[in-house]
Amino acid sequence: MGKNILTLTDHRTGETYELPITNGTINAMDLRKIKTHADDFGLMSYDPGFKNTAACKSKITFIDGEKGILRYRGYPIEQIAEKCSYLETASLLVNGELPTKSELGEWTWNITHHTLLHENIKKFIEGFRYDAHPMGILISTVAALSTFYPEAKNIMDAESRLLQTYRLIAKIPSIAACAYRHRMGLPYVYPDNDLSYTGNFLNMLFKMTRPKYEPDPVLEKAMDVLFILHADHEQNCSASVMRGVGSSHADPFCATAGAAAALYGPLHGGANEQVLRMLNEIGCKDNVPAYIKRVKDGGVLLMGFGHRVYKNYDPRAKIIKQIADKVFEVTGRNFLLDIALELEKIALEDEYFIKRKLYPNVDFYSGIIYQAMGFPVELYPVLFAIGRTSGWIAQWQEMLLDPQQKIARPRQIYLGEEYRDCIPVEKAGDPTEA
Ligand code: ACO
């Protein structure tokens, strides 16, 4: 192998430059040495959507999009989904290693004992309109937590960071459950410390008049695996927002609210909600070819298909498909699954999708499972946010502790007006006036 050096010739000047290559990247700041004259700002790279820009070094999640590989801290997602609980996975992501039995006990105890919400937070949620979207409630309430825990600003204090980590992982399901019950007009349910993290979440959502809620073990396990599959996905849109907001040293509650807002969009975590709406719109298997035609004509997107990084089957979608079978044994088969399977079959054989390497992503089947489990569509991105919280925290912490990180502040190519003088409105005239 040759030297780790990139030689560039700037044909504007005839100058040649040598740029070191480290970890398969050049340092963007090295481009600035490439100038046409002494006062020139220097060369930049243009990369809308950050398609080819590494903004950080990370040890959390590895993805090989071409091969369909996803690993948390080196462990394949398939093994984690089979052998670990969500709380173990959260500990792995945040702390770097799988916890020992006693570490897991302590971690679980601390998270379990931070699930209660301040009564004023409940009142805050009560203030939302009866039909408020639960994702809007979640985003605002997580931001409001910042006002309840002002010490969270001590972001460089490891103990404080850990406390906010417990609070965030513990309270987001409680907020999510309150948002759901608010919409349903049901009284809020207090956490039950005898239950698992996921079992308690189902309890806070679905407990009615019985004194004790007993989650169905199959559904509890399925939900836990779904949280694991959503826990992290390296520098996705919401994780980048988490790092971006956190880079200004805002507290983790505000940063998490920003990340959740990014997740809400239909191109990101809001896609599972859109998949359900799409499947309902298609209505039956026979209508699938006509819908595929609309997609190919550019009229609509096939929601739950395509991914910025995966150019192969999303490994999470494979696991979710297996969970779906187990869930349907308990809940009964959902007719939407047949439409989804038909869509997938036709799309995977179609030149349009093959050429663009469009495969089902994590959101394609998760919505169908959520529907079978009785969640309203508006809750789907909220469920995604619960699982993703541990990943956001891991990304935020890694960013804070990385001495090379700075406040996130990209450059731009300015193509607007050159210098011009401002004319007061009374002198400017009105082009609509004759
Ligand atoms: N349906 C139809 N065509 C699609 C789809 C889709 N779902 N996704 C991409 N394409 C097409 C584009 O139109 C484009 O075609 P062209 O080359 O003829 O212009 C080509 O495939 C490449 O697409 P891009 O938009 O450049 O891909 P990008 O990496 O920017 O977008 C994204 C990725 C946003 C996920 C996109 O595939 C999409 O919108 N998918 C649907 C929404 C969705 O499921 N989002 C969830 C992603 S998973 C997650 O966030 C957890």
pTM of the predicted structure, to 2 decimals: 0.91
246 C-alpha to ligand 1 centroid (Å): 28
Taken in order 197, 201, 206, 209, the sign of the CA dihedral is positive
Alpha carbons 358 and 346: distance in angstroms, whole number: 12
pLDDT value at 434 more than 60: no
Q: Which of 236, 300, 305 to mutate to test the pocket of ligand 1 (most atoms within 8 A of CB)?
A: 305
- For residue 37, indicate whether it is catalytic: no
Measuring CA to CA, which residue among 354, 370, 392 is closest to residue 253? 392
305 C-alpha to ligand 1 centroid (Å): 7
Classified as helix, coil or strand, 232 is coil
For residue range 367-397, what is the model confidence (pLDDT) as tens digits? 889 989 989 989 999 999 999 999 999 999 9
List, in order, residues 6 or more apart from 234 with CB less than 8 Å away.
58, 60, 61, 62, 63, 309
Alpha carbons 78 and 37: distance in angstroms, whole number: 54
For residue range 158-191, what is the model confidence (pLDDT) as tens digits? 999 999 999 999 999 999 999 999 999 999 999 9
Which candidate in 131, 268, 325, 350 is catalytic? 268
Ligand 1 atom 16, closest CA: 356
- For residue 268, indicate whether it is catalytic: yes
- Nearest-atom number in ligand 1 for the CA of 364 is 44
Residue whose token pair is 């508006």: 378
For residue range 262-321, what is the model confidence (pLDDT) as tens digits? 999 988 888 888 899 999 999 999 999 999 999 999 989 999 999 988 888 889 988 998
DSSP 243-300: HHHHTTT--HHHHHHHHHHHHHSTTTTTHHHHHHHHHHHH-SGGGHHHHHHHHHTTSS
List, in order, residues 6 or more apart from 98 with CB less than 8 Å away.
73, 75, 84, 88, 91, 92
Ligand 1 atom 49, closest CA: 268
CB distance 35 to 28 below 8 Å: no
- Nearest-atom number in ligand 1 for the CA of 305 is 7
- For residue 363, indicate whether it is catalytic: yes
Residue type, 38: A
Q: How far is CA 292 from CA 154, 213, 259, 272, 361, in A?
A: 52, 43, 32, 18, 17
What percent of the chain stands above pLDDT 90? 84
Alpha carbons 127 and 61: distance in angstroms, whole number: 38
Ligand 1 atom 15, closest CA: 356
CB distance 316 to 77 below 8 Å: yes
Residues with CB under 6 A from ligand 1: 267-269, 271, 295, 301-308, 356, 358, 361-363
pLDDT value at 1 more than 80: no
